[in-house]
Structure 1
Amino acid sequence: MRMGLAIDAACDLSQEFIQKHDIAVMPITIKVDSETFMDDRRPEEIQRFIDRRLGSRSHSAETEPSPVAEIHKLFLEKLVLEQDCVFCLTITATRSPINDHVNKASFGILKNYRQVREQAGVPGPFMMRVVDTRNLFAGAAPAIYEANRLIAANETPAVIRERLAYIANHSYGYMLPRDLHYLRARAKKKNDRSVGVFSAMLGSALDIKPILRCFQGETGPVGKVRGFEQGAQALFGFAAKRVRAGLLVPMVCASYGGDLAVLEHLPGYLELRQACEECGVELMEAPMSITGMVNVGEGAVTIGLAAEDHVAEF
């Protein structure tokens, strides 16, 4: 059975990983004033967004995940012909309508695929499975990484689906924002209370940064640090500790809202890299999606890993 993966663009993964494993990306349209960006994880489009230095204007951007019709088209014109089963992984349904869009599109896809495959001379049935990673940005990466590993191991769709549900429930996404005022402005636009007004004001006055966590679809602060660099040290040090304690998926994803070369110069990053090397864990570096940068501001760092339940110690 030929099996493949489709993800939404807000899932942070390296372009190398996406291309190597032929992962389909469901794009998100971003409109900032009179400019439009197609967030489909292409490096050149991400770089174009960064180069435009939109700054504070981006927080008012409008984002439009792939509509049902476009997902329907992607599958019936491409994926149902290339694969026999596709796992669609999305960021948490509590933060984006994309999961709902994919589920709605699946009804029409499964109803109409037979005629498309018959006309192309492709025998047999087609299956698609929609998986909510229950996480954001780099936090979605462990489930996608595990899905790819299981497909390569020729596991059955039922085994893969059960394992992905388990990994999604044990995936953690940690984020260190660089600009609290931006984050607050964007949250206000989306009626999101994750970062309160008082926290934003306090952070600005004292350079206090929150460390935010997404776990099982819920997002909120789990720590606070003074200054971005000290926050990076704390975040990467914590991730290194989790790596040494053992992970459920042998990978950690680090995404950054800007030039990826910045990562290795942040305090604590080399310690995380060393921990991953010692423990046989892949450290994947990924550019934050345009969607991510619009929602949390440029210069933010996110870490994604899958592990048994643990206390966030910052």
Structure 2
Amino acid sequence: MNKIKIISDSTCDLSRELLEKHDISIVPLLVNFKEDSYKDLIDLNSEEMYKLVDKHNMLPKTAAASPGEFLEMFKKYLDQGYQVIYMGIGSKFSATLTSATTAKNMLENEDVFLIDSQNLSSGTGLLLLKTAKFRDMGLEAKEIVKRVEEIVPKVRSQFVIETLDYLYKGGRLSALSAFMGGMLRIKPIIKVRDGVMVVGKKARGNIKKGIDLLIQEFINNLDDIDKEFVMVTHSLAHESYLYINDKLKDINDIEKLYETDAGCVISSHCGKGTIGILYIMK
């Protein structure tokens, strides 16, 4: 049986504990404030990033990991006799998969396998946990890739946004829409579908109204959800997590309900207070 190493990037938003438990290594994306560049989750966490946003009165620019970083990481494990499976942020969200593909082509090694998660944050994280499960079952790399690619379209990632400022400043929302949304206290639900972000329902009022929509959708789909892993991922919104956990804790057949923190790259695009429930359909 071949040794298999799983590699992702810092946008997967798995906790350090989960990464270590499942032996998943991370290539960091970059967060840039003018001339200052930080490696996501290595040089900077989300709380520190928000302080820099306030200090500079600007959002950072994020950048994909370079081919060189993937080349170094892939070669490290190939030289130890591993096959490598990489899966990180979806190809429509970042050029990171392109960098990984460039590195694979430079190595000209068929023991590097790449999967497009078509997702972000712990939507990718859920797929990584499945990948680790299949590896630990002793499956071959090609079979793991095949099984995970079949699961990719079954991932459901949705977040409720506390503030529209980050979507506006990041160029994803017009000034008028941001103004009207703020005036009407709209909390949009952002979903990932077919590899891109779309706007779902829009709650009006405080963020709990939006969270309740997420919870209700989860409960409505309960019979069709793979309950092995469920993620509640947020950007400095622990109280909102506790609210969700209280609502879901009596659903006995959820095997693992994880709280995870959004890293700097994800947080820089969604803003403080954002929270989501992420899961896989059967």
**Greater shift in the superposed pair: 54-63 or 169-178:** 54-63
Aligned match of 1:49: 48
Tell me by how many angstroms 1:45 deviates. Answer: 3.4
Alignment of 1:13-92 (within 5 A): 13-33=14-34, 35-39=36-40, 41=41, 45-46=44-45, 49-50=48-49, 52=51, 54-55=53-54, 60-76=59-75, 78-92=76-90
Asked whether the equivalents of residues 6 and 26 of structure 1 are also in contact (C-alpha less than 8 Å), the reply is yes
Check if 1:182 corresponds to 2:159: no
Unaligned runs of 5+ in 1: 112-125, 309-314
Structure 1 residue 131: deviation in Å? Answer: 0.6
Return the offset for 1:264: 3.7
Taking the aligned partners of 1:298 and 1:222, their CA distance within structure 2 comes to 20
C-alpha distance 304-58 of structure 1, shift in aligned 2 (>3 A): farther
Give how far 1:81 is off: 3.0
Q: What aligned pairs does 1:109-120 form with structure 2 within 5 A after superposition?
A: 109-111=107-109
Residues 1:236 and 2:215 aligned together: yes
- Shift >3 Å, 4+ stretches: 33-36, 55-60, 195-199, 263-266
Q: Which amino acid aligns with 1:19?
A: E
**Contact residue 158 and residue 278 of structure 2 kept, 8 A:** yes
What number of residue pairs does the alignment pair up? 280
Identity %: 18
In the alignment, the residues of structure 2 paired with residue 305 and residue 292 of structure 1 have an alpha-carbon distance, to the nearest angstrom, of 18
Give the secondary structure class of the aligned counterpart of 2:63. Answer: strand
Alignment deviations for residues 271-293 of structure 1 (CA, whole Å, 9 cap, x no partner): 12332xx1143111111010011
Q: Which residue of 244, 258, 282 corresponds with 1:284?
A: 258
Contact 1:7–1:23 (CA under 8 A) maintained in structure 2 = yes
* C-alpha distance 60-280 of structure 1, shift in aligned 2 (>3 A): closer
1:165 CA drift (Å): 0.7
Q: Are 1:209 and 2:187 matched, yes or no?
A: yes
Name 2:6's counterpart in structure 1: 5
Q: Does 1:99 align with 2:128?
A: no
Cα–Cα, structure 1 residues 237 and 35, in superposed 2: closer, same or farther, change >3 Å?
farther
**CA RMSD of superposed structures (Å):** 2.3
Q: 1:58 to 1:236 in 2, by over 3 A?
A: farther
The letter for the 1-side match of 2:210 is G
- Alpha-carbon distance between aligned partners in 2 of 1:50 and 1:59, rounded to the nearest angstrom: 11
Is 1:160 the counterpart of 2:144? The answer is yes
**What's the offset of the Cα at 1:74?**
1.7
Q: Name which of 247, 251, 256 aligns with 1:271.
A: 247
Uncovered stretches (5+) of structure 2, i.e. residues with no partner: none
TM-aligned CA deviation for residue 255 of structure 1 = 1.0
Asked whether 1:224 is paired with 2:202, we answer: yes
Q: Distance in 1 between matches of 2:68 and 2:271?
A: 30
**TM-score, normalised by the number of residues in structure 1:** 0.81
Name the residue aligned to 1:312. none
Instruction: State the SS of the aligned residue for 2:30.
Output: strand
1:82 Cα deviation from its structure 2 partner? 3.7
Structure 2 Cα separation of the partners of residues 155 and 58 of structure 1: 49
CA change 1:284–1:109 in 2 (3 A) is farther
CA deviation after TM superposition for structure 1 residue 198, in Å: 4.4
Matched, 1:143 2:119: no
1:196 Cα shift?
A: 4.7
Q: Aligned letter for 1:220?
A: V
Specify the code of the residue in structure 1 equivalent to 2:18: F
Q: Is the 8 A contact 1:237 1:272 kept in 2?
A: no
Structure 2 letter corresponding to 1:209: K
How far is 1:170 from its partner? 1.2
> Which SS does the other structure have where 2:62 is aligned?
strand
Secondary structure, counterpart of 2:265 in structure 1:
helix
Q: Is the 8 A contact 1:92 1:135 kept in 2?
A: yes
Give distance in 1, aligned partners of 2:261 and 2:121.
10
